[in-house]
């Protein structure tokens, strides 16, 4: 008997499928470089990205977002798990087998200052993908680069300028032009606007949005808070210490968040409407993210969660669907907006804190 492939309502297959993805960075000691431990940067991720959609990935600094991005673009070798692109296993493809795939998957980096070589002209930077992939263009590389510059809202005359002559926002546009040069299918943008002035963040996010519909791109956009990606993401994955703790479509996640960590991240997003502002509880997460070298037992969030009970300390909650909402999955024993997974357990930290609640 053949088992039919899992498909969506439209019958499309995922562009990218990640199962059990793991990246542990070894920690070595002494001249023999004996391994004494590992940074569990990414510790078992399962998700799919459908053609044409935008998956937003959020979480605090150090939770493994960039490592995840570098794994799916194959800039890093995974420790375990599987990465499939258009149904093909690319998990351990070598450099030469990966070369044709490099065209299809591109990355936009966080820092537009360090990601562009200061000694190269804009023309050299944006044409690099053509040279590396030995791609001939119809009207020559220069014309192709100038078209790309126009596409991202820069002037073709910028061809001979150097990165230092541009503002942060313009530099990120150069990085975007470079990423789009070979017409990739998937673009992974790692905090593309975090290093930019708040006043121009929206412009760059809107540019990415426009380019998506124009070029039929699929995005994975990484951010450290929920405000930047709210308007551009179709679905959102929330990461904590190397794991996805909640994944859902945008309406479901913002309307009925289930993981306490998601509600905490959400309460940090400013509310523009002053009437609504007074109604909302502000949750301040206290304490730092624990070390990914020895993550907490059970639920990794239990050291900071105000709902934590004994079961949270001992049993790791699986990432599962708890409500009929299609595709909304959460890893929590005592979720918000959903039936309790471990009823009868009383919170031990409720009195002592783990967070503080205040009316904002
Ligand atoms: N090359 C590396 N070697 C060792 N540890 C690393 C390396 N890259 C990242 N890490 C560690 O992995 C964890 C996750 O890092 P990262 O993926 O950059 O998180 P994020 O992008 O969410 O801030 C951090 O603890 C970081 O210090
Ligand atoms: S499983 Fe327990 S500790 Fe983890 S988020 Fe849910 S309530 Fe909090
Ligand atoms: Mg990062």
Task: Tell me: do 228 and 268 sit in the same domain.
Answer: no
pLDDT of amino acid 145:
96
Whether 43 and 98 map to the same domain: the answer is: yes
Ligand with an atom nearest the CA of residue 190: 3
Ligand nearest, relative to CA of residue 317: 2
| Same domain for 192 and 76 | yes
- Confidence check: pLDDT of 298 > 90: yes
Asked whether residue 239 is domain-assigned, the answer is: no
**Which residues on neighbouring strands pair with residue 48, listed in sequence order?**
17
CB 176 within 8 A of CB 108: yes
Strand partners, 198: none
For 333, the domain range is 255-360
Contacts of 201 (CB under 8 A, 6+ apart): 193, 228
Are residues 225 and 292 both part of a single domain?
no
Residue indicated by tokens 């990461």? 239
- The answer to whether the beta carbons of residues 155 and 149 sit under 8 Å apart is yes
Do 85 and 206 lie in a common domain?
yes
Q: What is the 69 CA–ligand 3 centroid distance (Å)?
A: 9
Q: What does the alpha-carbon distance between residue 294 and residue 290 come to, in Å, rounded to a whole number?
A: 8
Domain identity same for 190 and 301 = no
Is residue 7 assigned to a domain? Answer: no
The total number of structural domains in the chain stands at 2
Would residue 241 count as lying in a domain? no
Asked if residue 257 has its Cβ within 6 Å of ligand 2, the reply is no
CB of residue 301 inside a 6 A radius of ligand 2: yes
What value does the mean pLDDT take over residues 63-86? Answer: 96
CATH number (domain holding residue 85): 3.40.50.300
Going from the Cα of 209 to the center of ligand 1, the distance in angstroms, rounded, reads 28
| 223 and 263 together in one domain | no
Query: Ligand 1 centre from 135 Cα, in Å?
Result: 34
- Domain end point (choices 176, 199, 233): 233
Burial state string for 113-146 with b = 16 or more CB within 10 A and e = fewer than 16: eebbeeeebbbebbbebbeeeeeeeeeebeebbb
Instruction: Give, for ligand 2, the residue of 239, 258, 297, 312 to mutate: max count of ligand atoms closer than 8 Å to Cβ.
Output: 312
Q: What is the pLDDT of residue 58?
A: 96
Whether 245 is covered by a domain: the verdict is no
Q: What residues does ligand 1 touch, defined as CB less than 6 Å away?
A: 25, 39, 41, 59, 61-67, 292
83 Cα–ligand 2 center, Å: 29
Q: Which ligand is nearest to the CA of 76?
A: 1
Do 38 and 137 lie in one domain? The reply is yes
Q: Is residue 178 in contact with ligand 2, taking CB distance under 6 Å? A: no
Q: How far is the CA of 275 from the centre of ligand 2 (A)?
A: 31
Examine the domain organization and report whether 206 and 314 are in the same domain.
Answer: no
Q: Which two tokens stand for residue 196?
A: 């930019």
> In this predicted structure, which of 6-10, 226-230, 259-263 has the lowest mean pLDDT?
6-10
Is the pLDDT at 231 greater than 50, yes or no?
A: yes
Give the closest ligand to the alpha carbon of residue 57.
Answer: 1
What integer pLDDT is reported at residue 275 of this predicted model? Answer: 61
Read off the pLDDT of residues 128-177 as tens digits, 9 standing for 90 and up.
Answer: 999 988 888 888 899 999 999 999 999 999 999 999 999 999 999 999 99
SS3 58: strand
- Could you tell me if 219 and 264 lie in one domain? no
Q: What are the phi and psi torsion angles at 264 (to 5°)?
A: -65, -45
Calpha distance 256→338 (Å, rounded)? 9
For residue 42 the two structure tokens come to: 């990414």
């Amino acid at each position: 008997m053949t088992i039919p492939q899992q498909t969506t309502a439209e019958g499309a297959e995922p562009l990218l499928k990640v199962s059990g993805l793991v990246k542990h960075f070894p920690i070595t000691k002494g001249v023999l470089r004996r391994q004494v431990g590992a940074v569990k940067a990414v510790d078992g991720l399962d998700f799919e990205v459908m053609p044409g959609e935008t998956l937003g990935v959020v979480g605090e600094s150090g939770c493994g977002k960039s490592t995840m991005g570098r794994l799916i673009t194959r800039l890093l070798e995974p420790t375990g798990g599987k990465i499939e692109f258009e149904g093909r296993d690319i998990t351990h493809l070598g450099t030469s087998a990966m070369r044709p795939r490099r065209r299809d998957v591109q990355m936009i980096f966080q820092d537009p200052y360090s990601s562009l070589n200061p000694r190269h002209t804009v023309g050299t930077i944006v044409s690099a993908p053509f040279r590396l992939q030995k791609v001939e263009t119809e009207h020559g590389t220069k014309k192709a680069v100038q078209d790309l510059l126009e596409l991202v809202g820069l002037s073709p005359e910028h061809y001979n300028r150097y990165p230092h002559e541009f503002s942060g926002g313009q530099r990120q546009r150069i990085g975007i032009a470079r990423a789009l040069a070979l017409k990739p299918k998937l673009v992974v943008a790692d905090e593309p606007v975090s290093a930019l002035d708040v006043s121009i963040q929206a412009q760059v996010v809107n540019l990415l949005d426009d380019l998506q519909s124009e070029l039929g791109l699929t995005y994975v956009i990484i951010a450290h808070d929920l405000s930047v990606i709210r308007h551009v993401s179709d679905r959102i994955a929330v990461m904590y210490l190397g794991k996805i703790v909640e994944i859902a479509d945008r309406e479901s996640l913002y309307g009925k968040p289930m993981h306490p960590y998601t509600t905490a991240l959400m309460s940090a997003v400013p509310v523009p409407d002053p009437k609504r502002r007074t109604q909302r509880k502000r949750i301040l997460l206290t304490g730092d993210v624990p070390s990914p070298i020895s993550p907490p037992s059970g639920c990794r969030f239990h050291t900071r969660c105000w709902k934590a009970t004994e079961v949270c300390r001992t049993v790791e909650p699986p990432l599962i669907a708890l409500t009929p909402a299609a595709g909304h999955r959460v890893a929590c024993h005592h979720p918000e907006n959903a039936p309790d997974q471990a009823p009868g357990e009383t919170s031990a930290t409720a009195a002592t804190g783990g967070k503080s609640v205040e009316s904002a």
